[in-house]
A and B are shown apart, each in its own frame.
Chain A
Amino acid sequence: MADDTNSEDKDGVKMKDDQAAALVVAQAFIVFSAIYWFTQIESVRELLQLAYG
């Protein structure tokens, strides 16, 4: 009985850890992608403006 409770606690802690890790990494990827593609699009826009006014 005590072993079952212990195992459930461990599973709960592991799930929390996995969720926290996923949240941190997913946030980082989303923010990085947004900044990266925004700067790429901006640079193309500036180049087009230089070329065609």
Chain B
Amino acid sequence: MIATMFTSYPRTLTAVAALLALLTLAYGGAMDAVYPSLLTVFEWLETTWFGVIGKTWGAAFAFVEAVHLLGLALLGGCVLAGDGRLLGVVLTDVPMQTVVERTHRVFVFGLSICLATGIFMACGVATKIYYLPVYWFKMLALSAGMLFHFQVRRPLLSHDIQSLNPVVVKMVAVASMLVWFMVAATGRWIGFSG
């Protein structure tokens, strides 16, 4: 019985394990154990080229932040278009599979821009963000969002969407919007903290 469950539902079991791991990391004290040792890493980040440029040259930081926001707009637009189509709210005259495929490609591009520029920005203010709980929450939300997109949403939508349970498809669309909203909101929150 248990062996059958393991062979029939490997993705579901992995997803449950990942959720429990994320919760343990956030609220189970695992983060408290790792947190002090990370300070040296964040102090080192500020001494790197990225850190020095970000700290001393305001225009460079502002330029990279503008690109970061454009990447976020691209990512958010893809989430709204793709998930909005799954909910049957936008682009209803275009087949779901087409919208999902095309938005995914642009989503990956937007995410890559956000990650690259985000690393640069983090280096410039590394010792500030280290002490901000909201920064760690954003990283948790970002990890959850990426895992959700590539390990849950994408494999699900690679099947014929019409043959999937519509309730599951709509719940995935809502959850996807919520997790990326959380990433964007906590990102802006960092700007208003510390």
Contacts and interface: CB of A to CB of B under 8 A. Distances in A.
B8 A22 contact: no
A24 B16 contact: yes
A12 to B, nearest CB: 10
B172 A22 contact: yes
In the complex, which of the residues B16, B152, B175, B178 has the most CB atoms of chain A within 10 Å of its own CB atom? B175
Interface bin, chain B? 20 to 34
B152 A22 contact: yes
Contacts of A24: 12, 15-16, 19
SS class, residues of chain A in contact with chain B = helix
Contact of B178 (A13, A15, A29): A29
Contacts of B12: 17, 20-21, 24
A30 B176 CA distance: 9
27 contacts: A13-B8, A15-B159, A15-B163, A16-B9, A17-B9, A17-B10, A17-B11, A18-B152, A20-B9, A21-B11, A21-B12, A21-B15, A22-B172, A23-B171, A24-B19, A25-B19, A25-B152, A25-B175, A26-B152, A26-B171, A27-B171, A29-B175, A29-B179, A30-B171, A30-B178, A33-B181, A33-B182
